[in-house]
Chains A and B, each alone.
Chain A
Amino acid sequence: GQQLNQSPQSMFIQEGEDVSMNCTSSSIFNTWLWYKQDPGEGPVLLIALYKAGELTSNGRLTAQFGITRKDSFLNISASIPSDVGIYFCAGFLGDKIIFGKGTRLHILP
């Protein structure tokens, strides 16, 4: 079946640093989604991308939908402690969402 490959699996950064993570697929997706999940909670949608090449921002977050429609990246600028969590890329397969395995972000004190 279709799989989304996220990298890196985990990141350790200093507060204030910028973060970049990406997601690739062997298949084309028409929509890319980025979710964040805090411990013990459900995923929360951060950014949705609907067109190849689209670059969308949400505060300190920026995501791009790759031209080939097989990849996407998420950047976080000037990280703060509440950015800690797991970031999932996802895409629609029919009416259901397929998720990657996530990138776990740690912020060092």
Chain B
Amino acid sequence: DTGVSQNPRHKITKRGQNVTFRCDPISEHNRLYWYRQTLGQGPEFLTYFQNEAQLEKSRLLSDRFSAERPKGSFSTLEIQRTEQGDSAMYLCASSFSGGATDTQYFGPGTRLTVL
């Protein structure tokens, strides 16, 4: 297994367009997390799944954002009607809960630029 993968790595879109990002976690991991990182800041939690269930959503996740993990494996994050303030790096992480530790492993991120 090569770790957490994210696609695309970069996305440039015009304001008002919809975008969708994909995350493929480490295969045996049951938890999947989405974070957002803006310039000069650390990553900020958006939402997470345990298997296919979305267990927590941050207030940062406005109505224009929706995340899914339909089969408990890969996840998608969709942003509708993008705004310039949505420009950021979107990071996905995965972990296995139930072990001695719940270490989260991050993917390389998708950098979104909204023009």
Contact = CB atoms under 8 A, between A and B. Distances in A.
A71 B64 CA distance: 37
B74 interface: no
A99 B44 contact: yes
B48 interface: yes
B21 to A, nearest CB: 13
A48 B105 CA distance: 12
The secondary-structure label for the interface of chain A is: strand
Given A40-B108, A42-B109, A48-B101, A88 B56 contact: no
B25 interface: no
Contacts of A98: 45
A66 interface: no
B42 A102 contact: yes
A43 interface: yes
Interface residues of B, number: 26
A56 B31 CA distance: 26
Interface string B38-56: 0011111100100000011
B91 interface: yes
B42 A88 contact: yes
B48 A96 contact: yes
Given A42-B4, A44-B106, A48-B103, A99 B43 contact: yes
A48 B95 CA distance: 14
B89 to A, nearest CB: 8
A95 B42 contact: no
24 contacts: A35-B106, A41-B109, A42-B4, A42-B93, A42-B109, A43-B43, A45-B103, A48-B101, A50-B101, A88-B43, A95-B56, A95-B97, A95-B102, A96-B33, A97-B33, A97-B35, A97-B45, A99-B42, A101-B40, A101-B41, A101-B42, A102-B40, A102-B41, A102-B42
Given A48-B103, A96-B45, 11 more contacts: A42-B106, A42-B108, A44-B106, A95-B48, A95-B56, A95-B97, A95-B102, A96-B48, A99-B42, A101-B41, A101-B42
A95 B91 contact: no
